[in-house]
Structure 1
Amino acid sequence: MRIRVASVALVGAFSMTAIATLGWWSKEPVPQSIAEATHWAPAAVLEPRLADSVMTVPKTTQVGGARKILNVPLLQPDVTETALPAIEPPLVTWTRQIASGETLDAVLANAGVAAHARAEIALALGVEYDLRRLRPGHEITVISNADGNPKRVELAIDDGVRIETVFGEELLTRVLEPDPEVVIFASEAVVESSISAALDKAKIPARFAVDLAQMLGGTIDFRRELSGGERMRLLWREAREGNKRIGQPELAFAALDLAGSVYEIVWPDDGSGQATIYVDGEVLRVFAQPVEGARLSSVFGRRTHPVYGNVRMHTGVDFAAARGTPVKATAPGRVSFIGRRGGYGRVLEISHGSDTLTRYAHLSEVPDTLEQGQRVMAGDMIGRVGATGTATGPNLHYEVRVDGRPTDPLSDDRLVEAADRDAVGTAALERLAEARSLLAERLTSEFVQTTTERL
C-alpha cells in the first residue's frame, strides 16, 4: 500500500510540473491598446443644480410622528356645462263642435274639465265674447296636462276668429284675428233644371243660388222663364289661410243670359252688401241684402202659416239664417221704431222718405248704439237674426211698406230712389266694366290652368 500511494503522488507532481512548464512556454505579450483599455474609468458625476423656476411640491404634514403627503387637486379641464333641455310633460288635445242646444259648461264638462276650471274659463272667455251668441258649428278645443288640468282653451267662432284662454299664474285671454288672403275665383254654368243644380254641377258654391234669387226674384220668374240652356258666369271672392277657407265665399259679379237679354249684378267689396242690377248694360235697380248668404225660406204672398196652419197673407219675405247673423239696412234712412210688435217679436223699422218703410222682425238683439231718429246707411248693421215673436226658428222677416201697405220686397223699385244717386250714375257703369274685365281675365286663367292639368 505504501508503495502504491508513493507512486500516485510522484506521478501527480510530475504532471503539474509539466503543465506549468508548457503554459509559460506558450504565453505571448499583451497588446498596448488592450493594456491601456484595462486602466479606463468613467468621469466623475457632477452634483445636480436646481432649475431657476420654482416647482411646487406636495406639502407634508406631521401626523403622530409619521409624515403624510397631502392630496394636491388635479387640474380640471375648462368645460362649459350645458344644461339638458327640460322635458315637457305630454299634452292631451280635445276638440269638438258645439251641438244644437248645448252650453259652454256642458261641452267643457264633456271634455273632463273640473267645475272650478269651467267657471274660470267661462268668465275669461266672456270678457272677450258674449257667450249667449254661441251657436252650432262653433268649436271648442281644450289642451290639458296628463293629469287633466287645462293649459289652454280655444273657442273658434265665425270667420276664423278665435278666443284663447291660457292658464298660468293668472288667466290670460286674447282674441286671435286671422290674416287671410283674398282669392278671386271665376266659373261658368249652364242651367238645365234649376240654378241650384247648375251651380252644384259646375262645382260653384250652391249658396249663390240664394243671392241670385234674392237679387233677380222680383225681375225674373225663374219657374216660368228658365227653359234650359241659359248660361251663367260668376266671379266670387274667398278669404283663405293656405288651403283653408275662412268664412263664406262672397259673390262679386254674376251674369245670366236669358231670353235675348243679359242680366248682370255687381256686388261691391266694401262689405255693404249693396248690389247694382243691370239689364243689357243699363242700371235697373240697386238692392242691399238684409242678410248676406241667407236662404230665402218664404216669399211674399198668400201661404199656409207655419204655426197656425191656416192660409194667410205673408206680408214680406223670410231669410233663414243662424241665430246671431248680422242684419243690415237695405237702403239709407232714419230709424223710426225700435221695440216689440206682437208676433213680429223684436222689431226695427227704418223710414225712407215720407211714404216708404222697411221692417226687420224676429231680431235677437239691436245694437245699443242705435236710437230712434238716428240716420243709417245701406249696409249698416242694425241687428241680429233671432226667433223672437211667432217664429219656428231663427230667421229674418223683412218687409217693405208703401203708404202703410206691404209690397213685395223683391219687386218694389221704390227703394232705388232712396239709394245714393252716385250708385246709378257713371260710377255704376265703371264698376260694371271693371267686373266684366276681371271676369274675362279669371275665366281665361282658369281655362289655361285646367287645360294644362289635363295635358
Structure 2
Amino acid sequence: MKIRYLVTGIFAAGGFVTGGILLLDKTGQEPVPLALRAAASWMPEPMEVPTFASAAALDPKFDQDEVVPTFTTPVLTVAEIAGTSAPVIAPLLKVWSREVAAGETLDVLLAEAGLEGSERAEVSLALAAEYDLRRLRPGHGLTVETEIKGALRRVLLDVDDGVQIETVFGPNIATRVLSPEPELVILAAEAHIESSVFGALADAGIPARFAVDLAEMLGGTVNFRRDLSGGEVIRLMWREQRVEGGVIGQPELNFAVLDLGDTQFEIVWPDDGTGQATIYRDGEVMRVFAQPVEGARLSSVFGRRTHPVYGDTRMHTGVDFAAPRGTPISATAPGRISFIGRRGGYGRVVEIAHGSETMTRYAHLSAVPDRLAVGDRVAAGDTIGRVGATGTATGPNLHYEVRVDGRPTDPLSDERLAQAAKQEAQNDGAVARLGAARALLNEQLAALLAETSHERL
C-alpha cells in the first residue's frame, strides 16, 4: 500500500516539473512584432501574361494577313563551341645565338649551343639540303631554339645579303630558304676630278669600284692618266638593293657622264641584266660593249706583265675578270660560234667570229651550255659559259681576248669589234634611251641638291 502511494507521488511530481519547464520555455521567448510577422508572410501577386501590340498598331502599313515572325532560342554551332575552347600554350623556348668567328665550323657552334652529337649531325644534314656549308664564313649568324626540357625546335642560319636558312624540327623536319624582298633605290651624284677618278668618286661618296667600270668602258678611248688634268666632271646614276637599310649585293651603274670640257662621253647601261652598255660621244653612238662578266673585277689588263704562274715577263694577250666560279659569261658582241673545246693553258674555251677578221675568245671556263654548238648565232649579252679555273689559272676568272686577223688587240680599245654591234644600237632606240637617262639623272641630281640645301638651312 505504501509502495503504491510512493509511485503515484513520483509520477505526479514529474508531471509538475515537466509542465513547469514547458511553461518557462514558452514564456521565456520574446513576442514577434506584428510588422515583422506581416512581412514574413507576404507573397507577390501572380504576374499577368504580357500582351503585345498588334503589328497594325505599330505600323499602319503592316498587312495583318502577313505571317507574324516567330522567335527561337539560338543554337551554337560546332565551330562556335570549338572557338570557346582554352587557348593552346606554346612551350617555353631557350634561345642561343651568335656570329660565326674565324676558323669555326658549324659543328663547333652547335656543340657550344648544347646539342648532342646525333642532333648536330641531324642539323648539318638538314641545312646542307639548302645551303653549301663550305661557304660558311665569319660574320654569318647561327640561332638555335630548344625547349626548356631540351627538345630541339628550330635552327636559323643567317648568310649573305639577308638570306636565312631555316630548319624546323618536330614530327617532320622541314628546311627552307628565307629570302628578303629588297627595296630598289636609285641614287645620283656628281664628282670633280682633282687627282684621280678613284679619289674623286671616294670624296663624293660614290662607290669607288665604278672607276673600274669607267676604265673598262672608256679605257681604249680616254687615257685616264694622260687626258685627265684636273677639273673634269663625272656625273653618275646607279641603283642599289637594300634590306632594312643595308645594301645587299653590288651597286650597278645606270648612267655615267664624263665631261672633258671639249668632249662629253656618256654610257647607258640597260636594266635588263644583260650588261650590254651603249657608249656615246657628244650624243652620237660610238660603240656598244656588253660586259662579259657582269659586276666582275678587272684583275689584269692587256700588255706585258709578270706571269702569275711562271713568274717571267710575257705578253698578256687579253684582259682578266675575277669572279666567283660559276658566274655567267656573256658574249660581248653578236657573231657565230667558231670553236668550243680546250686549248692548252687557256683551258675550256669558247670562240666567236664577228665577221671575217675579228674573233673573241673566252677562256678558263668551268662549263658551256649544252645547247651551244659550233655555227650557232649569238647576240650581245647571250650566255656562252661559266667562270672557272681550267687551264693555267691561279683562281676563278675569265680571260677575255680579242683577235683581229689572228693578232691579239686590246679588248678595251678595238673599234672593229665595236662596229659589229654599233649598227644594232642605232636601230634599237639608242638615242631615245640616252634622252631618258639624261632626264632621270637631272631629276635625281635636282632632288639631291634640294635635300642638301634643306639640310644646310
TM-score range, shorter chain: 0.7 to 0.9
* 1:51, distance to aligned residue in structure 2 (A): 11
Please name the residue that 1:86 is paired with: 90
When normalised by structure 1's length, the TM-score is 0.73
- Would the alpha carbon gap of residues 204 and 406 (structure 1) be closer, same or farther in structure 2, given more than 3 Å must change? same
Alignment map for 1:346-425 (pairs within 5 Å): 346-419=348-421, 421-425=423-427
CA deviation vs aligned residue, 1:78-124 (integer Å, no higher than 9, x gap): xx885573342121123337x69x8xxx3343442655555545554
1:231 to 226, 233, 238: 233
What residue in structure 1 maps to residue 449 of structure 2? Answer: 447
Percent identical among aligned pairs is 60
Determine the C-alpha separation between the residues in 2 that align with 1:331 and 1:200.
32
> Counterpart in 2 of 1:175?
177
Change (3 A) 1:362 1:173: same
Aligned ranges for residues 156-235 of structure 1 at < 5 Å?
Answer: 156-157=159-160, 160-235=162-237
Asked if the contact 1:346/1:388 (under 8 Å) is kept, the reply is yes
Matched AA of 2:135: L
Give me the TM-score of the superposition, normalised by structure 2.
0.73
Deviation of 1:431 (Å) = 0.6
Question: Which ranges of structure 1 fall in alignment gaps of 5 or more residues?
Answer: 1-41, 54-79
Distance 1:169 1:338 in 2: 51
Answer yes or no: is the 8 Å Cα contact 2:256–2:267 preserved in 1. yes
User: What's the Cα RMSD here?
Assistant: 3.3
Task: Report Cα offsets for 1:378-433 as digits up to 9, x if no partner.
Answer: 22333333333222233221111233322211011233343374412361111111
The alpha-carbon deviation at position 160 of structure 1 amounts to 4.7
Question: Of the candidates 333, 344, 347, which is equivalent to residue 346 of structure 2?
Answer: 344
Q: Report the CA distance shift for 1:143/1:350 in structure 2 as closer, same or farther (over 3 A).
A: farther
Q: 1:160 to 1:364 in 2, by over 3 A?
A: farther
Describe the SS at the equivalent of 2:100. strand
Relative to structure 1, is the Cα distance of residues 137 and 433 closer, same or farther in structure 2, using a 3 angstrom cutoff? farther
Aligned partners of 1:111 and 1:142 also within 8 Å: no
Partner of 2:140: 139
CA displacement at 1:254 relative to structure 2: 0.5
List per-residue Cα deviations over 1:38-63 (Å, max 9, x = no partner). Answer: xxxx9xx99x899999xxxxxxxxxx
CA shift, 1:161, in A, is: 4.5
Change (3 A) 1:233 1:114: farther
Structure 1 residue 152 and structure 2 residue 155: aligned? yes
Report if aligned partners of 2:275, 2:290 keep a CA contact under 8 Å in 1. yes
Contact 1:364/1:385, CA 8 A, preserved across alignment: yes
Q: Distance in 2 between matches of 1:168 and 1:370?
A: 46
How far apart, CA to CA, are the structure 2 residues paired with 1:285 and 1:357?
17
Structure 1 pair 261–167 and aligned structure 2 pair: CA distance change class (3 A): same
**3-state DSSP class of the match of 1:419?**
helix
1:181-226 deviation per Cα after TM superposition (whole angstroms, max 9, x unaligned): 2111110001111111110000001110111010000111111111
Deviation at 1:239, TM superposition (A): 1.6
Q: Does 1:301 align with 2:300?
A: no
For 1:168 and 1:348, locate their aligned partners in 2 and report how far apart those are by CA, in whole Å: 50
Q: Distance in 2 between matches of 1:414 and 1:444?
A: 39
For residues 209 and 224 of structure 2, the distance between their equivalents in structure 1, rounded to whole angstroms, comes to: 16
Separation in 2, partners of 1:423, 1:380: 16
Distance 1:221 1:370 in 2: 37
Number of aligned positions between the proteins: 379
Structure 1 residues 347, 135: closer, same or farther in 2, change over 3 A? Answer: farther
Rounded to whole Å, the distance in 2 between the matches of 1:136 and 1:336 is 41
Give the counterpart letter for 1:107 in structure 2.
L
Assess if the C-alpha contact under 8 Å between 1:109 and 1:115 holds in 2: no
Paired position in structure 1 for 2:51: none
Deviation at 1:360, TM superposition (A): 1.9
For the 8 Å contact 2:97–2:141, the answer to whether it is kept is no
* In structure 1, distance between residues paired with 2:339 and 2:315: 23
* Structure 2, gaps ≥5 residues long: 1-33, 47-83
Which stretch shifts more, 442-451 or 162-171? 162-171
**Residues 100 and 138 in structure 2, CA contact (< 8 A), matched pair in contact too:** no
Q: Is the 8 A contact 2:328 2:386 kept in 1?
A: yes
Instruction: Report the Cα distance in structure 2 between the residues aligned to 1:136 and 1:323, rounded to whole angstroms.
Output: 17
1:348-399 deviation line (CA, Å, top 9, x unaligned): 3333344332222223344455445444332233333333322223322111
Letter in 1 for 2:260: L
